[in-house]
């Protein structure tokens, strides 16, 4: 169809027309809210690089989780910051660990809210890497048992879903096996399948106090230059028993979200990560952009690329706009 017979502007001339032909719609149901939990009581420590986000003690975590639930947000994902760390990250899989207690408390107060737990060791190890160290190298196979034990401890505490973010080879199969062996066949796995070694994680590492004390994570997280490898990673996790496939980060990897959506017949999640959030907040503070509009445009782009659900620190702010 060519002008003048076809005039695309006909369907843009009013808000009603634009709504009628809108191809992508954001819903509060799309959002998963990340939250950080710490030891103590009455703790609400602001995260400087992530305005509006806090490290919360369990009592305050419940309050924020209830606010999110009352806004219609269906799920939260928890990141724990223990009071002590060690080389094996033992607090990650301790029965009375910070995440385990947080899950039990939130589920007792808000049973209908879905509680997802991040399964990794970086927040719990004194070296800040995501697994067991052999010298200065993360030992993939030795790490699998620790990750599986962590996932099982979360399931026993009442988690609705576990989300391994470590990027060890074979961890989805290991976690699926231990969950099934312990009669947690109903617990799904949301795999951080295509998790890139990204500079966009900086504010998160401040929030979670999880920066590595030496080196980097390039030997286990993906090279940002690679796309086909993401398909292989996602396909492997599907075959190992993942229920949801995640791409992280989101905004700089919209092409990866789109390609995985085309290749994988499972729900696709995307993590709108801390750096993406903080850049918008910083530019808004400087008066360079309309923060709310850029937020909604960004989240719409992630959904348009093919994400079925979005992990985002904007969840409550975006939900408030959607609910207006």
In this structure, what are the phi and psi dihedrals at residue 70, rounded to the nearest 5 degrees?
-65, -25
Q: How far apart are CA 19 and CA 9, in angstroms?
A: 14
Q: How far apart are CA 305 and CA 301, in angstroms?
A: 6
In this structure, what are the phi and psi dihedrals at residue 125, rounded to the nearest 5 degrees?
-90, 145
Does 195 qualify as catalytic in the annotation?
Answer: yes
Long-range Cβ pairs for the range 264-267 (8 Å, 24+)? 264/234, 264/235, 264/238, 266/238, 266/242, 267/243, 267/308, 267/309
Contacts of 25 (CB under 8 A, 6+ apart): 303
β partners of residue 138:
133
Q: Is 41 left (phi over 0), alpha (psi -120 to 50) or beta?
A: beta
Q: How far apart are CA 181 and CA 145, in angstroms?
A: 14
β partners of residue 81:
38
Q: How far apart are CA 134 and CA 106, in angstroms?
A: 37
107, 248, 281, 303: the catalytic one is: 248
Residue whose structure tokens are 């993939």 = 140
- In this structure, what token pair is assigned to residue 197? 């070694």
Spatial contact of 267 and 245, defined as CB atoms under 8 Å apart: yes
Q: What is the dihedral of CA 30, 33, 34, 39, to 10 degrees?
A: -150
- In this structure, what token pair is assigned to residue 291? 């923060």
Q: Is the preceding peptide bond at 158 cis, omega within 30 degrees of 0?
A: no
Does 248 qualify as catalytic in the annotation?
Answer: yes
195, 281, 285, 293: the catalytic one is: 195
Contacts of 12 (CB under 8 A, 6+ apart): 18
β partners of residue 78:
35, 117
Residues noted as catalytic? 195, 248
């Amino acid at each position: 169809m060519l002008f003048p017979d076809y005039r695309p502007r006909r369907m843009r001339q009013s808000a009603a027309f634009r709504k009628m032909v809108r191809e992508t719609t954001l819903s509060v149901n799309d959002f998963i809210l990340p939250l950080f939990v710490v030891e103590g009581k009455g703790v609400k420590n602001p995260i400087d690089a992530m305005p509006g986000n806090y490290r919360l003690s369990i009592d305050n975590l419940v309050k924020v989780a209830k606010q999110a639930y009352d806004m219609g947000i269906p799920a939260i994902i928890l990141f724990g910051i223990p009071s002590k760390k060690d080389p094996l990250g033992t607090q990650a899989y301790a029965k009375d660990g910070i995440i385990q207690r947080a899950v039990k408390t939130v589920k007792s107060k808000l049973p209908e809210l879905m509680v997802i737990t991040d399964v990794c060791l970086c927040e719990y190890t004194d070296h800040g890497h995501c697994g067991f160290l052999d010298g200065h190298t993360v030992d993939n196979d030795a790490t699998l048992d620790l990750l599986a034990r962590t996932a099982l401890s979360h399931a026993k505490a009442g988690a609705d879903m576990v989300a391994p973010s470590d990027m060890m080879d074979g961890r989805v199969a290991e976690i699926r096996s231990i969950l099934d062996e312990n009669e947690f066949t109903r617990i799904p796995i949301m795999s951080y399948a295509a998790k890139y070694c990204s500079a966009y994680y900086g504010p998160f590492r401040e929030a979670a106090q999880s920066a590595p004390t030496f080196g980097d994570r390039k030997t286990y997280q993906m090279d940002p230059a690679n796309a086909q490898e993401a398909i292989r990673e996602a396909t492997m996790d599907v075959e190992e028993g993942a229920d949801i496939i995640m791409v992280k980060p989101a905004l700089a990897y919209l092409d990866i979200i789109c390609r995985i959506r085309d290749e994988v017949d499972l729900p696709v999640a995307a993590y709108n990560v801390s750096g993406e959030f903080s850049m918008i907040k910083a530019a808004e503070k400087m008066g360079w952009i309309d923060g709310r509009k850029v937020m909604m445009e960004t989240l719409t782009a992630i959904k348009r690329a093919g994400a079925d659900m979005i992990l985002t620190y904007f969840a409550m702010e975006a939900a408030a706009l959607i609910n207006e």
